[in-house]
Structure 1
Amino acid sequence: MSDFLQVYTAAETREAAVALGRSVTRARLAAGVQVVGPVVSLFWHQGEFGEGEEWQVIFKTTAARYPELEAHLLEYHPWSNPEITAIPMAAGSQPYLDWVRRTVESPGDETA
């Protein structure tokens, strides 16, 4: 398994997505977060077909920090059953990956 992950969730509003990103980044559970949107989502929920706009949130972290990141999202996400998925990073520039690792493992300020 890769040492580095991109973790995804979504939120109903830009403000909620940014709040999640901010809380995760400040807790050093992710080195960086991107908020993308709005995106159109099509889904089944409670036996009914749904469609709506959401804001996608992408977290850059390490596999070692994933359990804490997931727990944080489950605690602070406004939805009772949010999407939380993780995709391994197959490759990346070494300086970037070093920055991700340093940032989530240390409490001091980090630069790219």
Structure 2
Amino acid sequence: MVAVWQVQVAAPNEEVATELARGAVEARLAAGGQVVGPLITVFWHLGEFGTGEEWQVILKTTDERYPELEKHLVQRHEWKNPEITAVPLAAGLAPYLDWVQRTTSK
């Protein structure tokens, strides 16, 4: 079975988040994605403490497609150092995981 990953990307607003999700799915770098928000974020950035509002994109991809997905997101994100993280899924419904693999296959 192919390893399926959940990728999370922070975005400054709903429109940017939706476009990041749409672009990744249209390019078949992710099988699907959800946009969640708004979220309150608390952070240190450039030596300063801050709070703000962000939106989160949650994408599903395979370990094979992750490097291309990451590159795609970085190229299209407006932040110079966007929050992009990924974790492998330990388990999932087999037909769903198969769908992710089929959808993102080259």
Q: If the TM-score is normalised by the length of the shorter chain, which range does it land in?
A: over 0.9
Partner of 1:29: 29
Q: Name the amino acid aligned to 1:78.
A: E
Unaligned runs of 5+ in 1: 107-112
1:23-59 Cα distance to aligned partner (Å, 9 max, x none): 0000000000010000000000000001000000001
CA distance in 2, matches of 1:12, 1:90: 29
Structure 1 stretches of at least 4 aligned residues deviating more than 4 Å after TM superposition: none
Partner of 1:17: 17
Equivalent runs, 1:30-49 vs 2, <5 Å = 30-49=30-49
Partner of 1:90: 90
What is the DSSP-based 3-state SS (H/G/I as helix, E as strand, rest coil) of the residue aligned with 2:79? coil
- Alpha-carbon deviation of 1:78? 1.0
Partner of 1:53: 53
CA distance in 2, matches of 1:101, 1:5: 10
Aligned residues: 105
CA distance in 1, matches of 2:48, 2:56: 22
What is the DSSP-based 3-state SS (H/G/I as helix, E as strand, rest coil) of the residue aligned with 1:5? strand
- Check if 1:6 corresponds to 2:6: yes
- Alpha-carbon deviation of 1:6? 0.2
- Check if 1:78 corresponds to 2:67: no
CA distance in 1, matches of 2:12, 2:84: 14
Identity across matched positions, percent: 61
1:44-89 Cα distance to aligned partner (Å, 9 max, x none): 0000001000000001000000000000011001111001100110
